[in-house]
Every structure is written in C-alpha cells, then in structure tokens.
Amino acid sequence: MAMNKNTVLAYATLLMIFIGVLLIGLGAYRYEDIGWGFAAIGLGFFAIAWVFNALKGRV
C-alpha cells in the first residue's frame, strides 16, 4: 500500500483526534482535580488535528 502525503496527514489527524479525546476523558474521569489541564491539552490536540486536516491537498 503506497502512502502519499494526504494519507499520512489523514492518519495523523485521526491519531491526534483519538489522543485528544483520550486526554479529555482522562481529565474528566480519572484525574478530576487537575482535569482542566488535561482538557486544555486535549483541545490543543484538536487544534493540531484541524491544521493537519486543512493541509490535506495543499502540501
């Protein structure tokens, strides 16, 4: 299977979304005392995933 730049960006976007959801979930359910920090980092991962998605087709 040949992976071009768009495929790599698509996989990176999916991975970043998964990690973002995982971090927000950890902050909400596991580490409630410092959950705001986990949520902030999770939102940062969403922002990076958004940039990766916007780059598809342009790189």
Q: How far is CA 40 from CA 18, 32, 33, 50, in A?
A: 15, 13, 14, 15
Q: How many CB atoms lie within 10 A of CB 41?
A: 15
Residue 1 has pLDDT above 80, yes or no: no
pLDDT band, very low/low/confident/very high, at 48 (cuts 50, 70, 90):
very high
Q: How many domains does the chain have?
A: 1
Range of the domain at 13: 5-55
The pTM of the full predicted model, rounded to 2 decimals, is 0.82
